[in-house]
Structure formats: structure tokens, C-alpha cells
Amino acid sequence: MLKSMTGAALLSLAFPCLSYAATCEDIAAEGNHPKGMTITTAQSKPQGDADTKIAYCLVQGQVAPHQGIDGRAYAIHFEMRLPDQWNDRFVHQFNGGNDGKVLPATGPLLGGNKADTALSRGYAVVSSDAGHDEKAFADKGLAGGAAFGFDPQARSDYGYGAVEKLNPLAMALVEQYYGKKIAYRYGIGGSNGGRHGLMAATRLPDQFDGILVGYPGMNLPRAAIQHAWDVQSWSSVDNDITKAFSPADMALLAKAIVKACDKLDGREDGLVGDAAACQKQFNISSLQCSGDKTADCLSKPQIDALRKSHAGPSDSKGKALYSSWIWDPGMASRNWRGWKLESQVAPWQNKPIIAVMGAASLSQVFTTPPTDPGKDPDSLIAYLRSFDFDKDAPKIDAKTDVFKESAVDFMIPPGTDNPRLSAFAKAGHKMIVFHGNADPVFSVVDTERWYDRLNRNHHGKAGEFVRFYAIPGMPHGAGGPSYDDFDFFSPLVDWVEKGKAPEGVKATKTAGNAEAAALSAPDYLYCPYPKVARPKGKSADAGLACR
């Protein structure tokens, strides 16, 4: 029996109309979980099980089932892990990608140390599939992960409804099980999970005391247009887009960026710390071949394609449809390549993630009405190649009598173009946002612009409740040629619970990150934007400070 069950027993005596589970297995009984939840599993897991090193109660079930207009059954499937040694705190684990699967509710903290999780620290954690099961769409082939987009309710649950419906019930179950109130409530997510976090701060400002947002896809429908833009850019170099740039070509690019920009932060260490200065210093034209393509230069079509991708998508009138990007040596990482140029997935014919997942999402979820992009890599590539930036791009804002919300409505947090987060700030809640400078999926420029506008709207004081960190060398998630062993969650907790605002966050390299081997210093200091980590003194070992 849990140590906290003493409190549950006392509350049961004080409030006999309420039911409290004496054991984990009792949660499944009627009255021992909130109405609106269907519990399918309630099982004690001993210390040292396959998933974690602590003992906990595993709860699985679903909420808000509905029949889609496509004839398929939908529900928000979830998993909760309730540790025997609970620290009185709760984490909603926001998952990424197209969701569609219930990932283990361990509460990953988004850094390079995968063993350090919210669950291992004693937090109760909930995870969900955001309202659809990707396995239900096997008939859709490679497009199945986004085929839920043919149902408007499934779309809105994916965008925001799943968190809104599940979170209050999950918190109620935690409190009912332990017999006491949750002391602090957190949300953690990267990529689309980061977007979920920003959506929660906007739509549910009273339900989260602290939110950790990693590399967020806040403008995900607009970022999806970039996928078509990139595929068309790479196709101008080689019809097989996986061959548009070789790994050696990208390494050449990274080497040139480091050569031009490494010293701009005052220290030569293999890292481009001052990204803003680098964008003024680096000139891609310096890599263009004067004659035939060689190992020491890039061809004119390659240079043109990189320039086009880097500028971001636009229509025929020059109107920007998403965002520009920045030059960073992390563009040579395996992560960047897997997303933009060439994956290691054989069934995809090694086509990049932007081509397979990107086409499936853009056609079925982010444009209205949804369209069938086909099931195989060739048809998905063909969809992106034929995407018309004048005629098709406006479909992310489109609505119909059936699809009453556009993708912009259900995917982009309200007010993103002019953010205020006034209710979140007024409640005294805190947020940390971090984003890799070499992210190939969501541009760090977009996140910087969001923070600049938020700061302007709060008269230069947005840092009182939101801190943003731009991470040199990091692609989409921890890794690449960056210091990938970091912890932004602990500073968030200190900020929420002790009032200690974060400044520099120390980072090191994980042992398995071979791409970071060229970074000469043993550690680094991540600084709140727009500050840059610079040497404290003239000596090489003087250390860094945020300036």
C-alpha cells in the first residue's frame, strides 16, 4: 500500500461519498476513477521492471470516444504511471509527430540523458495518442499516420482537444488515487509536443504551473508547406532528391560555416555560438564551383537550391508562407539529413521524413478539404512536387460546411502571430522554450520572432515568465554537433516552486554522440535569448558567461 494511502483513508472518512482506490488494481472499479474514463488496465509494476527502475501503478484506458464521419472509431487512448513514491506533482507528457500511439508515460525531459525522466523523479505522468490510433489506417500505406485527417473531430482532438479533455480527468484520477491535491502541475513536450505545450499555455492557462517546450512546431501547417518547397528545391538538383547533396557536400557546408563564424562569440571551439552575427558573416557563394563540380565546392544548382530552401516558401507575389532559416553546422548532422534529404528507412526507399510524413500530413490534415496523396514514396513525392504555392497553400486557412475549423484554427495556438499569454502570465505560471539552431523541421527563426513579439507585448519583460534558449548545433531534438546532455526541466521547477529565474544552463556531451566529438570544450553554457555565451576572460579556460 502506498505511503500516501493514509491520507486517502482519512479523506474517505471525512468525505464518505468519495471512493479511493486501496490498491492500484482497485482503480478499475466503478467509483475509483473519474466519470468519463474507461479503464482497461490497472496493474502494479514492481521496482526494476523493463521500463523503469521504480515501482508504479500502470493505468491504461480511453476517454471521449466518437464515431468519425469516415466510418472509423476514434477515442483518446491514454496511459498513466503513478509512482509508489509520489512527489505530489504531475506531468502531462505531450508527444510529437502525428501522435497516433500511446508512448510510455515516463515523462522524457528532452535532454540527451534518456534515463532521467519525470517518472524516475517521482512525478505522476500521463501520455496519450491525441485521439487516434495510427494502426487503424494500415490500408492507407505510408500515408496512414495522418489519415485521421478525414474526420474533423479527430483533427481538432489532435490539435488541442485531446489535452483539453484528458488533462482534467487525469489530474482528478491522480488526486483520487493518492487522496491529496497535486502540489504542482507541469507539461513537457518537444516538436509537435512543444506545440501542444504552447497551445496549453494559451487555451488552458490555469491548468499548468510550468511548461517545458522543446523545438516547437507552433506554426505546423505553415511549416508543412516548407516540405513541398524543399522537395521542389532538391528536385532541381537531382530527380532523386536523396542524391541532391551527399554527406560530403553537407560536411563541406558545415566546415565553411564553422570557419566563417566560430570565433564570433570570442572563443574558437568548433561551435557557432553567435548565430545572429554568423548570418551576416557567412556567404554561401564562397562554396560555389567556378567550373565543374568537385569535392571542394558545390554546383550552382546546389547553391541555388540551398538559397531557396533557406529563404523559406513564398507565393508568386513574394508573400512569405512560413519562415526563413539560419546557417548552422548542424545542417551536416544525420538528423538534418534524415528529415530533409535521405532517411535510413528502407520501406520509404530512403526518402526523407519531410517527403513521407510531410506529404501525408499536408494533404490529409493541414489542407481543407483533405486529399488522398497515395500510399507509396513515389506518390507522396509527386504530391509535394505538384504542390502549388498560389492555389494550394491557402488551403491551410480553408473551411467547409463539414470541416468548420481550418488547420490554422485547430493547430496554431491562438494569438501566435501576436502572442501575449496574458492569462498564463497573470496566474504566475512559467515556461522555458528551447530550440536548435539547426532544426530542419521547424525554423528557430520562427520561434525567435514569436519571442520577440511576446517580449514587445510585455514591454520588454516577457522574461519574467518565459525564457527562450537557442541551441547552437542542435537539429530536431537533442543530438548533432551540440552539447546534448542538458536539463531545462530542473531550472523550470526551481522557477515555478522557488521563484528562481533561470539564467545560464550548463550542458555537456553525451558519451554516444560522435557528431559532437569535434567540439573542443568539455562543456557549454546555454543562455537565455538574446544573450550569447562568451568567455569571461582572455584565457582559454576562463569559462563562459551569458552576455
The set of cell numbers assigned to 488 is 531545462
How much is the average pLDDT of 339-348? 96
CA distance 60 to 293: 57
> In what helix (H) or strand (E) does residue 445 lie, and over which residues does it extend?
helix 444-457
Q: Answer yes or no: are the C-beta atoms of 119 and 107 closer than 8 Å.
A: yes
Q: Answer yes or no: are the C-beta atoms of 490 and 484 closer than 8 Å.
A: no
Question: 118-142 burial by CB neighbour count: b if 16+ within 10 A, else e?
Answer: bbbbebbbbbbbbbbbbebbeebbb
How much is the pLDDT for 51?
65
What are the residue boundaries of the structural domains of the chain, listed by start? 5-190, 221-411, 422-546
CA distance 243 to 132: 35
Closest CA to 212 of 506, 12, 494: 494
Q: What share of the chain is helix, strand, coil (3-state, %, to 5)?
A: 40, 15, 45
How much is the pLDDT for 13?
38
How much is the average pLDDT of 357-385? 98
How much is the average pLDDT of 232-236? 98
How much is the average pLDDT of 515-539? 94
What sign does the dihedral 265-269-270-273 (CA atoms) show?
A: negative
Question: Residue type for 342, please?
Answer: E
CA distance 303 to 288: 7
The set of cell numbers assigned to 28 is 478499475
How much is the pLDDT for 319?
98
Threshold 0.85, pTM exceeds: yes
Cα angle, residue 203 at apex, residues 216 and 150 outer, rounded to 5°:
70
CA distance 431 to 409: 23
Q: DSSP states of 291-330 as a string?
A: SS--TTSB-HHHHHHHHHHHH--B-TT--BSS------GG
Predicted confidence band at 542 (pLDDT cuts at 50, 70, 90)? confident
Q: Percentage of the chain surpassing pLDDT 90?
A: 93
How much is the average pLDDT of 355-376? 98
Q: Beta partners for 298?
A: 288
**3-state DSSP assignment of residue 158:** helix
Enzyme catalytic residues: 191, 439, 476
CA distance 262 to 275: 10
Give Dmax over CA atoms of the chain in angstroms.
Answer: 86
pLDDT digits (tens, 9 = 90+) for 418-442: 999 999 999 999 999 999 999 999 9
pLDDT digits (tens, 9 = 90+) for 447-497: 999 999 999 999 999 999 999 999 999 999 999 999 999 999 999 999 999
Predicted confidence band at 12 (pLDDT cuts at 50, 70, 90)? very low
Residue 17 has pLDDT above 50, yes or no: no
Higher pLDDT, 114 or 317: 317
Residue 477 backbone zone (phi > 0: left; psi -120 to 50: alpha; other: beta): left
pLDDT digits (tens, 9 = 90+) for 133-164: 999 999 999 999 999 999 999 999 999 999 99
How much is the average pLDDT of 218-241? 98
How much is the pLDDT for 19?
62
The residue written with cell numbers 507509396 in the block is: 376
How much is the pLDDT for 59?
98
How much is the average pLDDT of 257-283? 97
Alpha helices, DSSP H, located in 86-219: 152-156, 162-178, 192-203
**3-state DSSP assignment of residue 346:** helix
Closest CA to 80 of 97, 68, 65, 92: 92
How much is the pLDDT for 28?
96
The residue written with cell numbers 550542458 in the block is: 507
CA 150 to chain CA mean position, Å: 24
pLDDT digits (tens, 9 = 90+) for 291-333: 999 999 999 999 999 999 999 999 999 999 999 999 999 999 9
Burial of 83 (0-12, 13-18, 19+ CB in 10 A): buried
List of residues 6+ apart from 122 with CB closer than 8 A = 54, 83, 85, 86, 87, 89
How much is the average pLDDT of 78-105? 98
CA distance 410 to 220: 11
How many Cα atoms within 13 Å fall on the side-chain side of residue 6? 2
How much is the pLDDT for 5?
40
**3-state DSSP assignment of residue 123:** coil
Q: DSSP states of 18-78 as a string?
A: S---SSGGGGGSTTSS-TTEEEEEEEEE-TT-SS-SS-EEEEEEEEEEEE-TTS-EEEEEE
How much is the pLDDT for 22?
79
How much is the pLDDT for 110?
97
Residue 376 has pLDDT above 60, yes or no: yes
